[in-house]
Structure 1
Amino acid sequence: MDTAIGRLNAWGAPLLQLALRLWIARVFFNSGLTKIQDWDTTVLLFQEEYKVPLLPPDLAALLGTAFELGMPILLVAGLMTRVAALPLLGMSLVIQFVLGAANPAYNSIEHFYWMFLLLAILVHGPGRLSLDHMIRNRITRS
C-alpha cells in the first residue's frame, strides 16, 4: 500500500500541480485577451463599473491586463510560480471582496475556487513539472 501511495505521490502530485497551474492560467489569460481586444471599453469599465480603489482607472486597467497576460505565462512555465500567483490572488480578493461589496454581481463561488487554487500553488509550489524545479535542481547539484 505504501508503494502505491508513493507512486501516486511521485507521479500524480506533479500532474495535479501542473493541471492547477494550467487551469488557473487559462482563466486569467483569457480575461486579459478580452481586455486588449477593445482597450477603450476596458478603460471605461475600470472608470464606471470596477472602480478599483486607490488607483486611477487607466492605471488599474493597465496593471490588471498586464497581470492577466503576464502571470499566466509564468504559471504555465512554472517559472517564478509563487511570485506569479500573488498578483492573481490579489486580483481575486479584490474582485470578490472589494468589487463584490459594492456590486453583488461580483460575488461568486468561482472566485473562491480561484483563490484556493492560487493558495495551493503558493503553499505547495509548482511541482516537479516546472522550470522552478529544474532550476532549483541545477543549483543544488552545482
Structure 2
Amino acid sequence: MKNFQLKYIDLSLLLLRLTFASLMFLNHGWPKVLDFEEKFHSFPDPIGVGSEISYALTIFGEVFCPVLVAIGLFTRYASIPIIITMGVAIFIIHGADPLAKKEMALLYLVPFLVLLISGPGKLSLDSKLKV
C-alpha cells in the first residue's frame, strides 16, 4: 500500500511542476520575452537595482526557472528565484493593494514553495541524475 501511495505523490508532484511551471512560463514569462524591446527600459524597479536588471531578474524567474522546474532539473534551486519574484510582487509591487490584487502571485508562490520543500519527486531529471 505504501509504494502505491508514494507513486501517487510522485505523480502529484509531476502534475504540480508541469502545471504551474508551464502557466508561469506561458502567461507571464514568454510575454515578457516577446515585449523585451518595449519594456526593457521602462520596467518597474521595486528593489532599486535598475529597470533593466529588474526586468532581467524577472525574466530569469519567469522563463528560465520555470523551464527547469517543469523538466525537474535543479528543481529546488530553480524554485527560489520564482518564489523571490512572487514575493516581490506580493509584498512590494502589490504591497498596499487588496488581497484580490495579490492573489495571482500568492497562487504561484505556494506551489513553488511546496516544490522547494518537497523536491520534484521521482518523476524528474533530478531523481534520474541524483541531483
TM-score range, shorter chain: 0.7 to 0.9
Conserved 8 A contact 2:89-2:102:
no
Match of 1:43 in 2: 40
Q: How many residues align?
A: 130
Match of 2:65 in 1: 71
Q: CA deviation at 1:112?
A: 1.7
Provide Cα deviations, 1:36-92, integer angstroms capped at 9, x if missing partner: 21223322551xxx3322210011112211332111111111110000000000000
The TM-score normalised by the length of structure 1 is 0.81
Provide Cα deviations, 1:85-114, integer angstroms capped at 9, x if missing partner: 000000000001100125559832222221
Structure 1 distance, partners of 2:23, 2:89, is 14
Moved more, 57-66 or 13-22: 57-66
Q: Tell me which stretches of 4 or more aligned residues in structure 1 moved more than 6 Å.
A: none
Find the partner of 2:31 among 34, 39, 47.
34
Unaligned stretches of 5+ in structure 2?
none
1:108 and 2:102 correspond? yes
Higher helix share: 1
Structure 2 distance, partners of 1:92, 1:51, is 14
Identity, % of aligned pairs? Answer: 26
The TM-score normalised by the length of structure 2 is 0.87
Find the partner of 1:85 among 79, 86, 105.
79
Match of 1:15 in 2: 11
